[in-house]
Amino acid sequence: MKWSELRTLPDSALRSEIEKLVEEQKNLRFQKAITPPENPQIARKTRRTIARIGTILRERAAGAAR
């Protein structure tokens, strides 16, 4: 997802998206252990999306604390 799409989502949707992506990341890790991945960039993209969402949540928390 793009930054602009993620910023429009509420916190609850972002948290559920993180849960979904962490599960996907776990499945990719298992898949990688069994067979070589068809597209190794998927794991990288998933990891970066998780980081993006975490950044947005931290920014919102910092903004609310002010």
CATH number at residue 21: 1.10.287
In a domain, 66, yes or no: no
- Summarised one tens digit per residue, pLDDT across range 13-53 is 999 999 999 999 999 999 999 998 888 899 999 999 999 99
In a domain, 45, yes or no: yes
In a domain, 65, yes or no: no
Tokens of 41: 């960039």
Whether the predicted model's global pTM rises above the 0.75 cut:
yes
Please tell me the distance from the alpha carbon of residue 59 to that of residue 40, in angstroms, as a whole number.
30
| Count: domains in the chain | 1
Question: Residue 47's domain spans which residues?
Answer: 3-60
Tokens of 54: 């975490």
The size of the chain, in residues, is 66
Q: How confident is the model at residue 1 (pLDDT cuts 50, 70, 90)?
A: confident
Please tell me the distance from the alpha carbon of residue 47 to that of residue 53, in angstroms, as a whole number.
10
In a domain, 20, yes or no: yes
Asked if 34 and 25 count as a contact pair (C-beta separation under 8 A), the reply is no
